[in-house]
Amino acid sequence: MTPAVRQYLVITGNYWAFTLTDGALRMLVVLHFHQLGYSPLSIALLFLFYEFFGVVTNLLGGYIGARWGLNRTMNLGLFLQILALALLTVPAAMLTVPWVMAAQALSGIAKDLNKMSAKSGIKLLVPDQHQGTLYRWVALLTGSKNTLKGVGFFLGGALLMGLGFTGAVLAMAIALTLVWCASLMLLRQELGRSKARPKFTDLLSKSRAINVLSAARLFLFGARDVWFVVALPVYLHTHFGWDFWQVGGFMAIWVIGYGVIQTLAPTLTGRQHGLMPGARAAAAWAATLAVIPGIIAVGLAAGWPAQPVLIGGLLLFGGLFAVNSSLHSYLIVSFARDDGVSLDVGFYYMSNAAGRLLGTLLSGWVYQVYGLSACLWISAVLVTLAAALAMGLPDRRRLPVPERNL
């Protein structure tokens, strides 16, 4: 096993463990506070700081990673998630909205430090001429992460039923502490440290490709979260009468399938005549995705059977969204510069977090005021904007030499 593969496994295992707790915590908070009688908008506000600080963290985290190393940002992310979980183990009377928002703020910082570090680290482990290998490694990391996030959704619902809110959060904090200790010992110390001392002015990307891709990413993830974060789980519980096990289980299966398809994205998007996917592929996959929310909204408005329309449409949306997301994840790592990679990746994931923030706020407010169909139409518009922006990306890159396995 080569040193690059060993570090890839450490990064991936670290990311997996974090993702399990992140997905479980998201489902715990949504279901627990819905059970307490919070409105959809109030639940969305619980995640406001989670998403807002994700925007800030990706921008500053890229600078910190380039200056002091990605091993520090990744391990710091794990530690902050442990602290966020610990804050939620207080007595129920202390779990006020401001307290939970503060804990979620720490969790948001932790998640984006961890994700930025993982995606940036892979760029440094794969030679630039091995673009196919880079695409496969990014797709595997991204897809497996989302598969485990789905397992985390199910785990959150199961732990809430079995241990209660406080017991579930405490168990996750203990498990993640063990992972953090292992990561401190195994992660390479110099990973990702820039050879030149980055300036604070380097935070904002100067690459047109990265700026365009970042804008497309913002609209893509806003389109997902505008109906997935709050509107969908609340709708499943209130309109279909599903209990917490069913909601958590279904969301888990959806995200698991979504993650599996992400790992298959290199095969689905294909490499033709030695060319890697670029602007046309990104725009075509996004344009196809934009049709799905509109079809679901039309079906619900026309009185078609709600469960088959919503569940079938959601499964199709998830598959197409998975390919779009994995393709974007490859492109940002491919476009990023080698020295100071975390600056470019951090800027990109800042836009990703901004899209989630936009989608989360809209999900609670639009659903509460206008209903699920309005969320779906907004989703269709946002994906259409992402497709239009993707046309401005550079076209496909030619592979210079035959690749060999690392």
Neighbours of 182 (CB within 10 A): 14
Q: Which range among 197-201, 244-248, 274-278, 297-301 has the greatest average pLDDT?
A: 297-301
pLDDT of 300-324, one tens digit each?
888 889 889 999 998 899 899 989 9
Contacts of 251 (CB under 8 A, 6+ apart): 27, 150, 153, 154, 232, 233
Q: Which range among 7-11, 188-192, 240-244, 385-389 has the greatest average pLDDT?
A: 385-389
What average pLDDT does this structure show over 61-79?
74
The DSSP call for residue 42 is H
- Does 289 have pLDDT greater than 90? yes
Burial string for 302-331 (b: 16+ CB within 10 Å, else e) reads eeeeeeebbeebbebbbbbbbbbbbbbbbb
What average pLDDT does this structure show over 326-338?
77
- Does 195 have pLDDT greater than 60? no
Q: What is the pLDDT of residue 348?
A: 80
Q: What is the pLDDT of residue 189?
A: 57
What average pLDDT does this structure show over 322-343?
76
What is the residue-wise DSSP string for 154-212?
A: HHHHHHHHHHHHHHHHHHHHHHHHHHHHHHHHHS-TTTT--SS---GGGGS---HHHHH
pLDDT of 150-167, one tens digit each?
777 777 777 777 788 788
Under a CB-based contact definition with an 8 Å cutoff, are residues 223 and 377 in contact? no
Query: If you average pLDDT over every residue of the chain, what do you get?
Result: 78
What average pLDDT does this structure show over 281-300?
91
Q: What is the pLDDT of residue 399?
A: 44
What average pLDDT does this structure show over 176-188?
81
What is the residue type of 323?
A: V
Q: Which range among 62-76, 100-114, 179-193, 392-406 has the greatest average pLDDT?
A: 100-114
- Does 128 have pLDDT greater than 60? no
- Grouping H, G, I as helix, E, B as strand and the rest as coil, residue 272 is strand
What is the third-level CATH fold of 3-191+201-390? Growth Hormone; Chain: A; (1.20.1250)
Lowest mean pLDDT among 41-50, 65-74, 193-202, 368-377: 193-202
Alpha-carbon separation of residue 153 from 20, 106, 117, 242, 401 (angstroms): 8, 19, 23, 15, 42
- Does 248 have pLDDT greater than 80? no
**pLDDT confidence of 378, banded at 50, 70, 90?**
very high
- Does 386 have pLDDT greater than 90? yes
**pLDDT confidence of 296, banded at 50, 70, 90?**
very high
Nearest-angstrom CA–CA distance, 293 and 111: 28
- Does 384 have pLDDT greater than 90? yes
Q: Check residues 203 and 289 and name the one with the higher pLDDT.
A: 289
**pLDDT confidence of 15, banded at 50, 70, 90?**
confident
Q: Check residues 404 and 197 and name the one with the higher pLDDT.
A: 197
Under a CB-based contact definition with an 8 Å cutoff, are residues 41 and 335 in contact? no
**pLDDT confidence of 400, banded at 50, 70, 90?**
very low
